[in-house]
Structure 1
């Protein structure tokens, strides 16, 4: 987390920061209160939140790794343009071989 240097901020900047913090805390508190109300209502009706979400058509996504999707090609083999690499994951063998043969990454960059 970035640490703010409060000593160099003007009084008006500090007041604005305080107002922003108070608003964020209030918003979070209201959100948590609404969540608790929904939990209590679901429990009073004999529902589990998972069942309720499934009925609404939006099952909660499991937390964990996010999907990155396809990455654009960043490197292409200097002699065989069908061999490409996005820069994600381990360096492919063709790139290691090309570097060993005297090519640089910059020469293979798309």
Structure 2
């Protein structure tokens, strides 16, 4: 968190900052209170929040970004076998250098 130098601020700037902080704290408190009310209402109706979210289309497990697991190695440096690349993401420097030196991608493919 960025540290604010309060001693360098004028009294009016400090008052404005205090007002902003109080407004933010009130908004967060109201949000937490609303969430608790929704939880209590759902429980009183015999609903689970996960089921309610899925019904409303907000369930992250249903509409979330798919997780990519570790990618298999697809390319290996011809002279240094410890240098590998899965083919995902930015092409590594060793791969660029090898291509510039005249090697083909196919010759480095595993």
Q: TM-score, normalised by structure 2?
A: 0.60
- Structure with bigger gyration radius: 2
Q: TM-score, normalised by structure 1?
A: 0.60
The gaps in structure 2 that reach 5 residues or longer are 68-88, 102-110
Q: State the alpha-carbon separation in 2 of the partners of residues 5 and 89 from structure 1.
A: 41
The verdict on how the C-alpha distance between 1:24 and 1:57 changes in structure 2, with shifts beyond 3 A counting, is same
Deviation above 4 Å: which 4+ runs of structure 1? none
Structure 1 residue 33, shift from structure 2 partner: 0.1
Deviations along 1:53-96, one digit per CA (max 9) or x if unpaired, are 1111221359xx999xxxxxxxxxxxxxxxxxxxx556254324
The gaps in structure 1 that reach 5 residues or longer are 68-87, 102-110
Aligned to 2:57: 57
